[in-house]
A and B are shown apart, each in its own frame.
Chain A
Amino acid sequence: MKKVTFIDAITQALDEEMERDKRVFLIGEDIGIYGGVFKATKGLLDKYGAERVIDSPISEVYIAGGSVGAAMVGLRPVPEIQFADFITPSMDQIIQQMAKMRYRTGGQWTCPMTVRVCCGADIGGGLYHSQTNEQWFFSQPGLIVVMPATPYDAKGLLKSAIRGDDPVIYYEHKRLYRWIKEEIPDDDFTVPIGKAALRNKGDNITIVTYGLMYHRSLEAVKGLEKEGISVDLIDLRTLLPWDREMVFESVKKTSKVVLVQESPKTGGVMAEISAAITEEIFDYLDAPVTRVCGLDVPVVPFAPPMEHFFLPNAEKITKAVKEVLEY
């Protein structure tokens, strides 16, 4: 067991998968000579060479679309989109080709690949270096969408994504890169896609969340426990397909639920989970399903007071939990 940061866990996963499987290669902007703008791919160019660690031109269309083609002829591409904010040029390739390839060809052609996307706010990144936009891909069947919250999951989910036969969008929150450290096993391990993690057990209420918001929720849970409120805290880890079983089981037990996400409220992941709960297990509810989300504004604003105003935090989550409990 070694204590590693979130970003080290990602580097380890890439390194170990490249070592294990010659079909795995990386492509993206600044990932080779520079080792990535956050150093996620540091040292990999020297170890694996320029054919497997490709410094691409500034071409997000090609990074995504070219990877689809390479996957179709038997490789396991792991393209990197440097910031989630810059994924929009790739959308055509991700939505029209990557997500639909298996379906539209009747299963003849597939593209097992993992698009790493660096995302998230709370680092003062400004308008175009702070976005989370998993909701765009969450509504596209054919894709797997994951967003780990811990170093263990970052490593295990990335390995599962690379080894699996489906196209994955892998969101890594940049606020977690060097903030979160965790002891993880030295041995090879994976984290299954589609399974959430129950991080805290409680009876009074359920919180469902993912990514950075898991840590904000955990902070809230610790405070609530001091007040005698016990919480089932679920970290989804995989957003598409989300772990319906674990969420429903917990909500059936607690009858109250708060859903927390960093992205804007309207049309987000939690909108779907809220709808599913009310549609399928309505009778178990003792209070309205409640969401704590980013603001319904176009993007995360830059000035620190505005950025913090945009984001959910432990205080906002605690307030929502109490309101639901008092309902």
Chain B
Amino acid sequence: MPAKKQAEKPTLKQIGLPQETLLGLYTNLLKTRMLDERFRKLFRQGRFAGTYFSAVGQEATTVGPTYGLRDEDIIAPSHREIGANVTKGVPLEKIVAQVYARINSPDKGKSHPCHYGWRPKGIITPASTVAGQTIIGTGCAMGFQIQKKDNVVLAFFGEGSTSRGGWHEALNYAGIHKLPVVYICQNNLWAESVPSTLQAGIKDFSDRSKAYGFPGVAIDGNDVIEVHKTAVKAIKRARTGEGPTLIECKTYRWYGHSDIDPADYRTKEELEEWKKKDPIARAEKLLMSLKILTTHKREALVEQIGKEIDEAVNICENEKYAEPEEAYNDVYSEQFPVRRYEDQEVSS
């Protein structure tokens, strides 16, 4: 009993992280959750087109590893990395604009909601091809190694991605050359509708790293402290030339694959069990027990973040779409302008 009590209420010394880091992690978790829930609401209200991919429930898997990265470090995301964008400091307006597909969006409205990416913070705009950014992110790490830079790459993907051949080619290459990359597998048990038991014949996806000659570790992905500390160690390893690490974060997405998916392939009981492990509530409880956070301070944070989100949404609601002819831009460098067929006359 006393041992358990101690585990529930560890001291700062036992945690081994500064107060500032703990508060920073929590603030980013909260901001990610609030923004995500707001997006879901806006989508249901029909405020933006397409669909929406919520990351609610698995925020710790993105916030934890990203916190403390340098601007020059690269994030190679999938489509649920809203937390990595928030934590790396992408302005909220840019994140909201991506979802709204307006002219102020980093991609000028060309890609898709949830394809968050912003060059100044080193976040690659994701493609929808599964494990896509794992492969090119590994290439970024190869680039850093050739350039002799000590930047690192964080590649995020779901457990389903690890079934793809290209994913294995990338990890194999990273293992051969000890590339500065950290692979974060967000095992949320479901790849769209397919359970992880039909994805692989192993229980821990982190075991896959054994085939490539670098460490793999499976951790509680809803414990932001554990995720952060594990990632920091792996990032240090990568930065100092010791090579990659595969971190499997066991987690769960609360909502469907996208917001048009009722997720009726899984049980209510399963969802309820995981909701009890809510990464934000857990971090909050811990910080309160450490007196780093108070109810009053939390309320102030919620108010402040809410205001920031309101402002960003307001800007994007009032922003225009790019002109349709923007479709012609960014195909090639300026050397090769695209032919505009509407200018063409029928041969007479």
Contact = CB atoms under 8 A, between A and B. Distances in A.
* Band of interface residues on B: 35 or more
A107 interface: yes
A52 B106 contact: no
A215 interface: no
Interface string A73-104: 11100000000000001001100110010111
A100 B142 CA distance: 21
Interface string B116-128: 0111000011010
B48 interface: no
A104 B107 contact: yes
Interface in A103-149: 103-110, 141-142, 144
Interface string A139-177: 001101000000000000000000011100000000000
A188 interface: no
Interface residues of A, number: 48
Given A62-B170, A66-B135, A106 B330 contact: yes
Nearest to B329: A107
A70 interface: yes
Contact of A69 (B140, B333, B347): B140
B176 interface: yes
A266 interface: no
Interface in B325-342: 329-333, 335-336, 338-339
B238 to A, nearest CB: 15
B105 interface: yes
Q: Which of B109, B142, B172, B176 has the most CB of A within 10 A?
A: B142
B136 interface: yes
A91 to B, nearest CB: 11
A288 interface: no
B348 A65 contact: no
Interface string B157-170: 00000000110011
A104 B125 contact: yes
Interface string A38-77: 0000000000000110001101011001111111111100
B243 to A, nearest CB: 16
19 contacts: A52-B146, A56-B173, A59-B173, A62-B169, A65-B166, A66-B170, A68-B139, A71-B139, A93-B136, A97-B132, A100-B127, A105-B119, A106-B125, A106-B330, A107-B330, A108-B125, A166-B333, A193-B336, A194-B336
